[in-house]
């Protein structure tokens, strides 16, 4: 049963940090939406990005690829994408692929902001 489930994106800018809340399903069909969104941010140099995963129901491998698309450019410009509030299920998908070694996966916004302020970038140990 093919479902075209939607992805909702909300962005709030606060203290120079973009907080993106994603809701719903991130898969091959909806990934382009998120990718375009991130691209827009990158083009306007808003490169300190935190993504809130608490409302994300499902992610597929295509969805994972979205984050790899712009991370290099973002990090070269001095920013980062940090990910917070993943459910166990979503975390396990990222974990299998080895993302914890590449990104900061945090429990909440504060920890992510802390890492931004202290220039701690995921995957640079």
Contacts with other proteins by CB under 8 A lie at 1-2, 28, 31, 35, 61-62, 64-66, 68-70, 72, 96-99, 101-102, 123
Q: How far is the CB of 81 from other proteins (least distance, A)?
A: 13
Which two three-digit tokens encode residue 36?
């375009």
Which two three-digit tokens encode residue 96?
């299998």
Ramachandran sector of residue 14 (left: φ over 0; alpha: ψ -120 to 50; beta: rest): beta
Closer CB to other proteins, 17 or 71, in the complex:
71
SS3 state at 105: strand
Q: How far is the CB of 45 from other proteins (least distance, A)?
A: 19
Selection from 70, 85, 78, 65 nearest residue 37 by Cα: 70
Closer CB to other proteins, 13 or 61, in the complex:
61
Q: How far is the CB of 124 from other proteins (least distance, A)?
A: 9
Closer CB to other proteins, 17 or 51, in the complex:
51
C-alpha dist (Å) from residue 113 to 60, 81, 120: 27, 11, 10
Q: How far is the CB of 52 from other proteins (least distance, A)?
A: 21
């Amino acid at each position: 049963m093919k479902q075209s489930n939607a992805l909702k994106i909300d962005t709030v800018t606060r203290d120079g940090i973009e907080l993106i809340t994603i809701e719903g399903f991130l898969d091959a069909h909806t990934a382009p939406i998120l990718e375009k969104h991130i691209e827009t941010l990158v083009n306007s140099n808003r490169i300190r990005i935190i993504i809130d995963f608490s409302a994300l129901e499902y992610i597929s491998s295509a969805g994972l690829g979205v984050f790899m698309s712009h991370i290099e450019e973002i990090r070269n410009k001095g920013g980062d994408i940090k990910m917070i509030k993943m459910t166990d299920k979503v975390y396990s998908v990222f974990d299998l692929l080895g993302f914890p070694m590449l990104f900061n996966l945090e429990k909440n916004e504060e920890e992510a902001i802390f890492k931004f302020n202290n220039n701690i970038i995921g995957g640079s140990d």
